[in-house]
Structure formats: C-alpha cells, structure tokens
Structure 1
Amino acid sequence: MNWDDARVFLAVQRERTLRKAAKVVGLDQATVGRRIAALEHALNATLFFRASDGYALTPAGESVLKAAEKMEQSAHELARQAQGVDNRLAGEVRVTTTDSLALAFVIPAIASLHAEHPDVRVQLSTSTQMLSLARRESDIAIRTQKPESPDLVARRLARWRVGLYATEHYLRRHGEPERGTGLSGHDLVLYQPFLSGNSRPTLVGEPIHAGRIVASVHSSLMLRAMIRADIGIGEVPVHMGERDGLVRIWPELSRGSAYEVWLVTHQDLRHTARVRAMIDAIVARFETED
C-alpha cells in the first residue's frame, strides 16, 4: 500500500460514503470506488462491508487501518517539518474557529495580515467541530478548550466571566427575574450542549426548572442573536454581552466556569513565517480588546 492508497482508504473509513470521501481527497466518486476495489484486489482481502448506512471496516480493514494511520502520521510529520522552516511570507494558512470568534477577532486579524502581507492566503473554517492539527486539517485553531496533546502549543488569549443577559426591551416586558424562583415566568435560550449533559442545567448557578426553554442552539453567535431578538434570556461571556449592548442580570453572579479562548498550533509549524504572521495578527486583535 502506498500513501495515495492509504489516503483514499482513510477517507472512506472516516466519511463512510464514497461521495464524501471523494470530496475529502479531491477525486470523483467513481475513482474512489475503483481505488478501493484495486486496493482490495492487491491485498487479496475485503476491507469494507457495503451497508445501507455506509461503508464499515471488516476485520481485515481494521488491521489495515493501523498501518494506514501510521503512514498518515509520517506523511503529515514530514510536511510539517518541511513547512516549519519555510521563511516565505506567502502561501496558505488554514485557521479554524467558531463563527462568533471569527467575526469579532479572526476576520479583523485577517484584514490586518492582508494589509501587511498580501501574498498570504487564509483559509478560514468556522465550526463547532474541532479540526485536527495533527492531521493537518488546520494550521491554527482558536478554541475554547485547552488541548492535552504534548505536540500542540497553546496560548490563552482570553478568560472572560459568563453572565446572564437580556435586552432592555425584554426586561421592560417581563421584569427582572427573582433569584431563587427557578427563573419562573421567563423565556430562556440555551446552549444545546448544556442540555445534553448529565447534570441539571442552570444559568449562572440558578436552576431553570420553572422557566420556559424557547430555543437551544449549538452556536454562541446564534445564542447572542436570539437574546438580541428578545426571544429570551441566556448566558453570554461578559465581554461579548457588553459588545452587544445587552443588559446584565444579577451582575454579582457568574457561571462557575469562565469562557476561555486558546490559540493552538502544532509545534512543528509555529516558526513558519506565514503561520507566525497570522498568529501575531490574531494575538494583537485580542490584545486590543482587553
């Protein structure tokens, strides 16, 4: 098996359909199917079950998976090390972050970078899904959690308290909630992952059992938009609530855990000129907001 075969094999294993795998590796669907068939013929083994819900590995495929992942790791390490000594302020930098942080910080940082280094091209991905720096899906990640991998270099950009917010218009209509009532009589908008946890959800420590959950979202940007639209009250990082002109309810109370923002890159890439320039622009943008 060569690296090209391993790359196609891994794409099918991860995406589970030929169509999605083809998009990942930049080939057409028919070519991916032929490559998998040729690989199975060369190895004299069936690597995938073809099921109605997609492709799944056979026992033979499971054994091939470990070897393919080792090849991928070596290929990415080679590319990172080569890129790490690249002193050109030109070429592509891939950045991944959330939509909220992209609008407030990363896009202005890209504008600053472009003004100074117009030959650097940025590929920006905004999603709650964490792309892999080790697999070179991204060069820089702006995340709300610190990674544990020793191969990654992390720098904390911000640490904000999280408060409870509403609009002035909402509070005129509904009044300010009373502490100890479980937010009785109030409409709530929540971050969906908090509802999916094992513990009972609260807002800045206040139980919400008596409130009415109007909507839940997977994006902090959408959560803030719903609060601004008078749909309900919700938790927002204090820095962002102030930017949005929202009214903080119970200013003395905050969520138990702060909202942290981390800049993460692979240690092999942090000295690449274009990656370093993008990092510096992002850091400068956050520093202007302190």
Structure 2
Amino acid sequence: MNWDDARLFLALGRETTLRGAARVLGVDQATVGRRIAAMEKALGTKLFLRASDGYVLTAAGEVAFGAASRMETAALELQSKLEGQDDALSGVVKVTSTDSIAIDVLIPAMATLRERHPTIRVDLEVTTQVLNLSRRQADLAIRNQKPENPDLFVRRLASWPVGLFASEDYLARRGEPVPGTEFAGHDVVGFRPHIEKGGWFTLVDEPSRQGTVAAALNAGLLIRHAVAAGLGLAEMPLVHGIRDGLVRVWPERVRKARYDVWLVMHPDLRNTARVRAVADFFARALKDEG
C-alpha cells in the first residue's frame, strides 16, 4: 500500500461513506470506489463491508487501518519537520478559530497581513470543533479552549473579562433583573451545550433557574446577535458587548472565569516562516483588541 492509497483508505475508514471520503480528499466518489476496489484486489482481501449506511472495516481492514495510521503519522511528522526549516514567507497557512474572533479580529488583520506579505494565503475555517493539528487539519488554531494535548505549542493571547448584556429595547420592555432572584421574570440566552448538560446555567455566576430560556445557541456570534435582537440577557466578553453597542447590566459584576484566547500550533511549525508570521500578526491583533 503506497501513501496515496493509504490516505484514501484512511479517509474512507474515518468518514465511512464514499461521499465523505471524496469531500475530504477533493476527488469524486467514483474515484474513491474504484481505487478501494483495486486496493482490495491487489491485497487479495476485503478491507470494507458495504452496509446500507456506509462502509465498515473488516478484521483485515482494522489491521490495515492501524498500519496506515502509522504511515500517516510518520509522513506528517516528516512534513512538519521539513516545513519547520522553511524560511520562505509564502504559501498557505490553514487557520481555525471561533466565529466572533474570526469576524472581529482575524479577517480585518488578514487584510493588513495581505498588504505586508502578499504571497502568504490564509485559509480560515470557522468551526466549533477542535480540529486535529497533529493530523494537519490546521496549522494554527485560535480558540477559547486550551487543548489537553501536551505535545502542542500553546500560548495565551488574551484574557477578557465577561459581563452581562442586553439590548436597549429589551431593558425598556422588561427592565433590569434584580440580583439574587435568579432572573425571575426575565428571558435569557445561553450556550446550547451548557443548557443540554444541566438544564439551567449561570450568567455572571448568577443561576438562571427562574429565568426563561428564550434561545439556546451553539456559537458566540449567534448569542451576540440574539441579544442585539432583544431576545434576552446573556453573558459575553466585555469587548464583544461594547463592540456591539449593547447595554451592560450589573456593571459591577463580572464572571469569575475569564474568556481566554489561546494560540495553538504543532511545535515543528514554530520555525516555519509563513506560519510564524501569521501567528505573530494575529497575536498582535488580539492584544490590540483587548
């Protein structure tokens, strides 16, 4: 099995459908199916069982998947080490981040970066998922969650206080909540994963048990827009609430846990000129934001 076949085999093993594997690899479904069939013929064994809902690895396929994964690890390690010696300020840098940070900070910074380094292209992906830097799904990640992987290079870029905000329209209709009443008589907007875990959540460390959840959203930018539309009260970093022209409620109170922003990259890429340039540029932009 050569490396090109291994990449295709791994993609189908992970995605379980021809369409998913084709999307990841940037080829058509027929190519994936044809090459898998040729691979099985060359190896003299079935690697996948065709089920109604996709492709399932056989016992032989499980063994092959482990071997192909080791090939991938070695290939990516070699690529990272070689790119770590790259002094050229040109090429593609893949970045992943959250929606609010991308729109407020990274895209404006990209315009200035483009003027200074016109041969560097930034491919920016906004997602709530933590992409795998070890598998080179991204070169840089700028997120509000610190990764647990000790092998990654991690640097805190910002630490923003978090406050409670509402729109002028909402406060005109409903008034301010009374501290200690757990938002009785008020609508609140929350982060959906937090709501799904416990049913209620806190806003600037005040329980929301007596409040009514007006919206449960899975992204910070959606929460900001929901508050601006007058749906209810929500907490967010002060820089976001002020930027959006929202009214800060209980200005004397902030959440105990701050909103930290982390830069994450594979350590082998720290010496790659284009990656380092983009990382430094975004780090300065985030520092200016706070």
Task: Please give the range of the TM-score, normalised by the shorter of the 2 chains.
Answer: over 0.9
Runs of 4+ in 1 over 6 A off after TM superposition: none
Give the % identical residues. Answer: 53
2:145 is matched with 145
User: Would you say how many aligned residue pairs link Structure 1 and Structure 2?
Assistant: 290
Return the offset for 1:200.
4.1
What is the alpha-carbon distance in structure 2 between the residues aligned to residue 254 and residue 66 of structure 1? 48
Using the TM superposition, give the Cα deviation of residue 199 of structure 1 relative to its aligned residue in structure 2, in angstroms: 7.3
Counterpart code for 2:186: H
Superposed, 1:109-258 pairs within 5 Å as 109-198=109-198, 200-258=200-258
Instruction: Specify the alignment match of 1:105 in structure 2.
Output: 105
Query: What amino acid maps onto 2:76 in structure 1?
Result: H
Conserved in 2, the CA contact under 8 Å of 1:76 and 1:135?
A: yes
Cα deviation digits, residues 115-157 of structure 1 (max 9, x gap):
1111111111111112211111111110111122233111101
**TM-score (normalizing by structure 1):** 0.95
Q: TM (normalized to structure 2)?
A: 0.95
More displaced 10-residue stretch of structure 1: 67-76 or 239-248: 239-248
Q: Which residue of 2 aligns with 1:68?
A: 68
**Range 245-254 or range 134-143, more displaced:** 245-254
What is the DSSP-based 3-state SS (H/G/I as helix, E as strand, rest coil) of the residue aligned with 1:197? helix
Provide the C-alpha distance between the structure 2 equivalents of 1:58 and 1:198, rounded to a whole number of angstroms.
39
SS state at 1:125 partner: strand
Q: Which amino acid in structure 2 is aligned with residue 141 of structure 1?
A: A
Q: Which residue of 2 aligns with 1:277?
A: 277
SS of aligned partner of 2:253: coil
Give the letter aligned to residue 97 of structure 1. S
In structure 2, what is the equivalent of residue 11 of structure 1? 11
- The letter of the residue matching 2:254 is S
Separation in 1, partners of 2:30, 2:63: 25
Between the aligned partners of 1:128 and 1:153, the Cα distance in structure 2 is 20
CA distance in structure 1 between the partners assigned to 2:200 and 2:173 by the alignment: 28
2:45 and 2:212 mapped to 1: Cα distance?
Answer: 56
The CA RMSD measured in Å over matched residues stands at 1.5
Question: Within 5 Å, which residues of 2 pair with 1:35-46?
Answer: 35-46=35-46
1:268 maps onto 2:268 in alignment:
yes
Once residues 118 and 273 of structure 1 are traced to their aligned partners in structure 2, the CA distance between those partners, rounded to angstroms, is 14
Hey, what's the Cα distance between the residues in 2 that align with 1:180 and 1:91? 54
